[in-house]
Amino acid sequence: MKSIKIYSSIILSIFIFISCQKDIEFNGKITDPLVVVNSYITPDSVVSAHISESRFFLKDSITYRNIDNAEVAVWVNGLLKEKMSHTANGIYLGTYKPAIGETVKLIVSVPSMKEVSSETKIYSQPIINSIDTASMRYPKEYIISHYGYSNGTQTTVVDDTIGTYSLQEMNYSLKFNDNGNEKNYYRLIVQTIQYFTINDTINHTTRDSTLIHYSFNFSDVVSGNNANNDPSTLLGSGSNGNMYTVFSDELFNGKSYSLTFSTDQLIYDYLKSEFGRYRNPDKYKINIYLQSISRDYYLYLKTRVASSGDNFFTEPVQVHNNIKGGIGIFGSYTSSNVVSFDL
């Protein structure tokens, strides 16, 4: 009887997929393009923005048209500060660097299109009181093998050990103060940096927590990743992961809070260098940033992850938009001083 239920479920799934192939004629109204504004501002950096044009979802083209003839005005605390200049590819730059506590507004005017606007506030940077770490290097080593060599005419398959790697785990407890006079939103960024000496010059490659998910675990209660202790909800795994590592002060408003997270770093030990591909880093470094972000930026990042889920049975989620008369996001962030650790 159990196998019959499974068989029935398979038939039902096939029927659903077949039904999804049916063509439906669109009888709605083709909407005119809207102005799209994307801008994230921070103290000590000039205000910049990318201006483009929205695309109707049934159009064959997958590209968006950059707008190069817009007038982009920057207002600060209700006063006109400057008008930004177009550089290239829809990117506009100003000369003004916003300060903490200021409210910045963008007004974008494009010929024959509706004027759009948005504003955001610059919040104070988080105050980090302390950060404690606990490091553990797992003793087990794993072999790295190279199986193929080519001399230009043929490939020789050889099981050759070229090195080993092991895992180093670091656990962090970052203590900071939250401002109880306002609702606060935060973003945690962890970078893993590998340094190499090439031709007597120190070069480095950076891995960001929002890009390299497997090396960073954000399972603190405020992250939402450990709500049901389901491994599939870990950062970067499935549509429920907190990919952009954002959180609010809902659980600790006005208090000092210790944020917990961890990194898993693979430590390589190559025995030799082949064709310049296998090199041991001179050192590893971890950089940690805690950012105070605007509410709109927080909601944008949260809904952006939810809208890109791979479960087609769930309801679609609309990405947060705070551009009046248009589409996009105008947000702000302020970073704490970087905290670095050598591995």
pLDDT for 95: 97
The reported pLDDT for the residue numbered 307 is 60
> Which parts of the chain register pLDDT below 70?
1-31, 56-63, 146-160, 197-215, 226-241, 272-279, 306-317, 343
Domains and CATH numbers, the chain: 35-121 (2.60.40), 127-318+333-342 (no CATH)
Predicted local distance difference test score (pLDDT) of residue 123: 95
- All residues at 6 or more sequence positions from 222 whose CB lies less than 8 Å from its CB, including other chains: 247, 248, 250, 251, 252, 257, 259
Q: Would you state the pLDDT for residue 183?
A: 94
The pLDDT score that the predictor gives to residue 299 is 95
Name the token pair of 295.
């509410």
Taking CA atoms, 91 is separated from 42, 81, 159, in Å, by 17, 19, 51
pLDDT for the residue numbered 342? 73
What pLDDT is attached to residue 63?
A: 65
Q: What is the pLDDT of residue 308?
A: 58
Closest residue by Cα to residue 117 from 107, 104, 125: 107
Nearest-5° Cα angle at 178, 224 to 46 = 95
| Nearest CA-CA partner of 71 in 82, 81, 87, 84 | 84
